[in-house]
Structure 1
Amino acid sequence: MEKEVIVLNEARKVTLTAYLQDVEGEFGNIPKRPGILVLPGGGYQMCSDREADPVAFPYLKAGYQVFVLRYSVKKDALWPQPLEDYDAAMDLIRSRAQEWKLYPDKIAVIGFSAGGHLAGAAATMAKNRPAAAILGYAVLNEDVKGCNKSAPSVVDAVDDDTCPCFLFASRTDNLVPIANTIEFMQALDRHDISFESHVYAYGPHGFSTCDSSVQDKDTSMCDRIPDWVADSIGWLKDVLGDFGKGSMTKPVCGHYASGDREAYLSVDCTMGLLMSNPKAMAILGDVLGGMMGGSSAQSNPMTEDMDQADIMAVVKKMKLRDALAYGSTSAETVEALDARLRQIENIR
């Protein structure tokens, strides 16, 4: 493994540390690696060492090229300078992807506390957005004004282009209220962005990887908190793919929770969207008619207290694939419908 420290802004003491692993040779099935950029916390007053190298090592073990950004802090943290530091780092990483044996489209970001705010900003408003974002006990709403008056809420910046996110925090965090995580999740949901979240019952702020090398073992905290590390690595495999034979495998978890924001329709679109499209209904009319006929109170006791409007309100939120599964539709029929729907442009 090689280590390289690069000065991005000498005046503001901004540096990027690269931890670069070998490929090919003994790693015969790995011609390139995914990457992750670590943004330590520290209230925009420092970049915590506890959330830098100790965080890098688990992702190195998982096979990633890892980068640690020490961004602008204190008087230099005037917004948008920290975000400019992130963009400069990501631009450099992607520009050297061939040299550093990286997949330029498989670079994630992970941030903690104020670094989590910066990671959230990277996911929602940066020029060089990451492929995925991991946000640890992050300050994401207007609470950020408590440590950096010039920094914006990133909850309000979530849009359709926001990358998939993994969030973790403690319910009893006494520094960054859990509302930060919850409000960001709600914003992701409004835009149908894929996400995974772990809110642990109790624990302090700033637990990092939560092993005894960075956190006092006598600290009162949920004993499942350390699981976020392995869970986040597993999630990255879901959204970026895993190491295969000479390439990364296909991700199993998409950018969006449904197909409603994709360019073409599919069985992964919600029923409400498909029912609003005449071309889709020309294909699905008989199928949906049969399904709705089977949703009566007589055939489904679960709906006996629901009228047709109530049933439709529920059905419209379902993906067609899931609705077809309730009707025991064969896999061949589902795939045939999907192939036909994928010929129809999604005009929203």
Structure 2
Amino acid sequence: MLTFKQIHELPEFAGCADYIVPVGGEQAQQMANTPLSFFAQIGWSPEAMAYGFGRLQEICAQGKRVYYPLYEGKDLEKEPALRERFLIHFPVEKKTGFVVTCSGGAYIGAASMIEGYPSCKEINDLGYHAFTVNYRAGVNAKAPNPIEDLAVAVRYILDHAEELNVDPENYAVAGFSAGGHLAGCFGTEALGWKKYSLPKPAAVILAYPVITMQQYTHEDSRKNFLQEKAGDIAMQKKYSVEEQVTDSYPPTYVWQCERDNTVPVENTQLLIQVFEQYHVPHVYRTFDSEWHGWGCGKGTLAEGWVKEAIHFWEKYRQKA
């Protein structure tokens, strides 16, 4: 299988390779010569990663634009880190609905190559536009920056609906792991869509998400997202999705492995409990495994979950 550096050098990616598959920076440079096959050792699917890159290669070969920066002008002068916030668009031919995906990575980074790209490919196969958003992470992940980036991304898509050939009505947001916390927060009125004066998503889709910042949290996600406030009880509660759910929360599809070895399964259980309390429409799936980070699920017990989640969204798109 190709290495990241070889993928970066594909002629189809000329002009946008630094965004699609970065090989700069200390961590990326260390991985530049790593073949995709290596990731099978840690439970990720090289085939799924190749699947996502292959779809992007196909789109770029058709001369279509995939990279869209989220910030410009004075925003960049004030905060240079915003220069690296962007959308990658997986388009389809027809004008139809869209899903914005937020990959995980403990708010250290966004694992789009592992989670976002392969899932966007599957969403394309089901007939819909898909986007993956590169939100602020690492030292720049301090709350509420990533939520703000997701809101800016959704606003950008809605404002450029004609250019992007998308139907702006009844979109969905999806998230994986820490990106699931981000998408979950966006589903709340207090932290997400309503706060940023955006239309409510027709559905939220969550794969093995971080939900709480309290007892059963994923420690690295909390540390990176709340930073110096990580031990602040009020901040933990404010940014725990289960504490902000109301009866207006969007219908939600959520899944996780029963013995997830990274994010405690109590995260999804807390969310389901509050969904039942507020009668939020939902589907909750679990799989008999200890793995985390399955992405689109290709070759795993979770294979097919993307299709199931999109059908769930379609049901509520029609009702909205």
> Paired residue for 1:60, among 116, 120, 124?
124
**What TM-score, normalized by structure 2, do the two folds share?**
0.67
Quick one: which of 54, 67, 86 aligns to 1:5? 67
Which letter maps to 1:162?
Answer: Y
1:62-111 residue CA offsets vs partner (Å, 9 max, x unmatched): 11111110100000000000000001000111111233232222210111
Cross-structure match for 1:243: none
**In 1, Cα distance between equivalents of 2:85 and 2:279:** 35
The match for 1:235 among 304, 309, 312 is 312
% identical aligned pairs: 27
Q: Which moved more, 1:57-66 or 1:11-20?
A: 11-20
User: Which residue does 1:343 correspond to in 2?
Assistant: none
Shift in Å, 1:164: 0.6
Give, in whole Å, the separation in 2 of the partners of 1:55 and 1:70.
15
- Per the alignment, residue 284 of structure 2 pairs with 197
Partner of 1:170: 257
- Aligned position for 1:216: none
For the residue of structure 2 that corresponds to 1:22, the secondary structure is coil
Q: Distance in 2 between matches of 1:46 and 1:181?
A: 22
Rounded Cα–Cα distance in structure 2 between residues aligned with 1:52 and 1:106: 20
8 Å CA contact 2:297, 2:304 repeated in 1: no
Partner of 1:147: 221
Q: Name 1:292's counterpart in structure 2.
A: none
Aligned letter for 1:68? T
Q: Distance in 1 between matches of 2:247 and 2:255?
A: 22
1:189 CA drift (Å): 1.6
Where 1:239 maps in the other structure, the secondary structure is helix
Any residues of structure 2 matched to 1:161-310 within 5 Å, and which?
Answer: 161-211=248-298, 224-240=301-317, 250-251=318-319
Which has the higher relative contact order, 1 or 2, with Cα contacts under 8 A spaced 6 or more apart?
A: 2
Aligned residue type for 1:42 = G
Q: C-alpha displacement at 1:131, in angstroms?
A: 1.9
Paired amino acid for 1:138: P
Unmatched runs of 5 consecutive residues or more in structure 1: 24-31, 213-222, 241-249, 255-348
User: Residues 67-82 of structure 1: matches in 2 within 5 Å?
Assistant: 67-82=131-146
More helix by share: 2
Residue 119 of structure 1 is matched in structure 2 by 183
Q: Distance in 2 between matches of 1:159 and 1:99?
A: 35
- How big is the shift at 1:145? 4.9
Give the conservation status (yes or no) of the 8 Å contact 1:3–1:19: no
The 1-side partners of 2:86 and 2:177 are apart by 19
Task: From 167, 181, 191, give the equivalent of 1:103.
Answer: 167
Deviation of 1:50 after TM superposition, in Å, equals: 0.1
Using the alignment, how far apart are the partners of 2:152 and 2:272 within structure 1? Answer: 27
Q: Which moved more, 1:139-148 or 1:179-188?
A: 139-148
Residue 94 (str. 1) matches residue 158 (str. 2): yes
Equivalenced residues, count? 225
Maintained 8 Å contact 1:3/1:20: no
Query: Looking at CA atoms only, which structure, 1 or 2, has the larger radius of gyration?
Result: 1
In structure 1, what is the Cα distance between the partners aligned to 2:70 and 2:143? 17
- Quote the Cα distance in structure 2 between the aligned partners of 1:178 and 1:201: 12
Residues in 1 aligned to 2:168 and 2:247: alpha-carbon distance in whole angstroms: 21
SS at match of 2:168: strand
